[in-house]
Structure 1
Amino acid sequence: MFQRVIRNFASKKKTTQLKEMLTNKSLEFIMEAHNGLSAVIVEEAGFKGIWGSGLSISAQLGVRDSNEASWTQVLEVLEFMSDRTKIPILLDGDTGYGNFNNARRLVAKLEQRGIAGVCLEDKLFPKTNSLLEGAKQTLADIPEFAKKITACKDTAKDPDFCVVARVEAFIAGWGLEEALKRAEAYKDAGADAILMHSKKSDSSEIEAFMKAWNNKLPVVIVPTKYYKTPTDEFRKWGVSMVIWANHNIRSSVKAMQETTKLIHDNESLVPVNDRCVSVQEIFRLQNQPELKTAEDKYLKF
């Protein structure tokens, strides 16, 4: 029965899958991926959706999370991710790479590549990562950002394409009143959900927002800093979706650092070989068996 439900869910459009995840009564989870390979791994693990993390995509390109990777470069990475998976991708679209015009062009191109939604944050371009210590976090004017949300919704051809408005009021040092005012404005502008962000090591700001918000619109959270909060608390507050935002890139960096250092220091593969997946597993993740089947069909005469 459970497998049939999963198959039925996966047979729907990716946009519809994401929209239903945001609007149903269950707490849903999406996991960070940053290239085609990690996207496949996320899907195989059983996640119903992927977070196209701006931090992770920029990191795997070796640049800073300050819009140093252009939106077209990000789009190219997303295309590989989307081509290899059947589950929806929600892109961390930063500020939309400019004003309303840049943001709506981004939406048009995301739809062409089968991306299910975009999350836009109410800060200024170029963006500053929300968890960067000591960085100034300047917020966009509410009316300007609200119009950006509306422009994106007006541009989307698929009514299920989701635009998530990310509120950075807590990140910038403002209080609950400002967070609520911004969330309300973005709801009225047509946002499909609100992502309420916090960098505190406890979840007090999120809890306060959820109690005051009263389920006016689905709420997405990113508990990177307050990871010790029990997940059932999020359910109790009525959170719609949790994003595990950067742990694939962080864990892969740790593994590569350790492996590379061992090879360098030992001048041998012996210490690391058993710590690595086999080359055959890489072939499997690359979908090599499909090519063999296609060759048997098209190259045998």
Structure 2
Amino acid sequence: MSPAKRLRARMAETGLVHIMAAHSPLSAILAEEAGFDGLWASGFELSALYGVADMSVISMTQHLDMLRAIAGRTTLPIVADIDTGYGNAINVIHAIREYERAGASAVVIEDKTFPKVTSLVAGGRQQLLRIEEFRGKIAAAVATRQDPDFLVIARTEALIAGVGEAEALHRANAYVDAGADMILIHSKEKNPLEIESFSRAWNELVPLVIVPNAYPDLDAERVKALGNIRMMIYGNYGIRAAATAMQETFRRIMADGGVQNVHKDILAVEEVFRLQRMDEIKAAEARFLR
């Protein structure tokens, strides 16, 4: 069974899948060990890893390199964050071919103009693409995929752009007509009321995806009660957790004038060796280095 088919099966089995953002093979390994259903190959996290803004600065090649590396070290399905699809429908055709070959099980394409600005930044430029043009991108993605289980997820930024629920519903319906398998509805409100309202108004069979970064109080129990959300993506928690730990550790080392205190509070080197599968390397050495 392909990872894409397993992702669909998991959604059908549980009703809701939990997808953790990853920016490296190591973060992917940790997410798999924690029990997540899949991985979000996050553009935001990769941008942050490079120390640049999430504004279409990172190239498709850089993102694909990350995704291939992750796919080589995990068995989890990967949902690829491909922003606006790197251009128009012709660029989307190229992107879908490359991402499917690289090991993605799904892509999320958003209906903003290129280059995009990250959705949750205060005062960010949030310009929406014409519906007709974005419908072409979704149709191109669906026509290009080779695996019929590969998910094409259309993300509408209508609520982010402040144009209201009616426009969000209008756009989402148009994207379903173009062949989208799921609709990602995004919000920057600090509470989940906008998302819950959209979910209650959504009467299509196509299920919804959410990214509860701005409104963390919306937990799985409340999501399941809504009945039509099938995927929760935890969009930036990996890089934020990593940065939190590094900030604290680095500051303590400077304050203490050494590592004499901090060393006992961080991961043992032996645990890093385990995550690197050092036992497999040692076994291979014993077998082949004669």
- Asked if the contact 2:67–2:103 (Cα under 8 Å) also holds between the matched residues in 1, the reply is no
Equivalent residues of 1:42, 1:50 under 8 A apart: yes
Match of 2:160 among 171, 175, 179: 171
Q: How does 1:107-146 map to 2 (within 5 A)?
A: 107-146=96-135
The 3-state SS of whatever aligns with 1:268 is coil
1:243 maps to 233
The 5 A counterparts of 1:256-267 are: 256-267=246-257
Per-residue deviation, residues 179-230 of structure 1 (Å, max 9, x unmatched) = 1111111111111100000111111111111111124201000111111134
Pick closer, same or farther for the CA change 1:175–1:77 going to 2, 3 Å: same
Find the residue that maps to 2:232 and give its secondary structure: strand
Query: In the TM superposition, what whole-angstrom CA distance separates every residue of 1:24-81 from its partner, at most 9, and x where no partner exists?
Result: 5612111111100000000011111011111101111221101111110011011111
Worse-superposed segment, 15-24 or 174-183: 15-24
The TM-score with structure 2 as length reference comes to 0.96
Distance 2:219 2:209 in 1: 16
Give me the whole-angstrom Cα distance separating, in 1, the residues matched to 2:86 and 2:233.
22
Q: 1:293 aligns to what SS in structure 2?
A: helix
Unaligned regions of 5+ residues in structure 2, if any?
none
Contact 1:35 / 1:81 at 8 angstroms: preserved in 2?
yes
Report the counterpart of residue 84 of structure 2 in structure 1: 95
Distance 1:59 1:17 in 2: 30
Displaced runs of 4 or more, over 3 A:
21-25
Please tell me whether residue 198 in structure 1 is matched to residue 198 in structure 2. no
Assess if the C-alpha contact under 8 Å between 2:138 and 2:178 holds in 1. Answer: yes
Q: State which of 192, 197, 202 in structure 2 corresponds to 1:208.
A: 197
**Deviation of 1:148 (Å):** 0.3
Query: Given that residues 263 and 272 in structure 1 are in contact (C-alpha distance below 8 angstroms), is that contact kept between their aligned partners in structure 2?
Result: yes
Does the aligned pair in 2 maintain the 1:123–1:138 contact within 8 Å? yes
1:107-144 per-residue CA deviation (whole Å, 9 max, x = no partner) reads: 11111111111101000111110001001200011010
1:271 aligns with 2:266: no
Percent of residue pairs bearing the same amino acid type: 44
Pick which of 36-45 and 266-275 moved more.
Answer: 266-275
The code of the aligned residue for 1:258 comes to E
- 2:69 match: 80
Tell me which moved more, 16-25 or 224-233: 16-25
Letter in 1 for 2:60: W
CA contact under 8 A between 1:23 and 1:218: conserved in structure 2?
Answer: no
1:280 counterpart residue number: 270
Structure 1, unpaired ranges of 5+: 1-11
Query: For each residue in 1:139-162, what CA deviation from the matched residue of structure 2 results, as whole angstroms up to 9, or x when unmatched?
Result: 011010011011111111111111
- Give 2:140's aligned residue: 151
- Give me the whole-angstrom Cα distance separating, in 2, the residues matched to 1:149 and 1:14: 21
Pair 1:96–1:23, CA change in 2 (3 A):
farther
RMSD of the TM alignment (CA)?
1.3
Partners of 1:54 and 1:199 lie apart in 2 by 18
Deviation at 1:265, TM superposition (A): 2.3
Using the size of structure 1 for normalisation, the TM-score is 0.93
**SS of residue in 2 equivalent to 1:171:** coil
Which residue number in structure 2 is paired with residue 225 of structure 1? 214
1:180 aligns with 2:138: no
User: For residues 206 and 71 of structure 1, what CA distance do their matches in structure 2 show?
Assistant: 30
SS in 2 for 1:240: strand
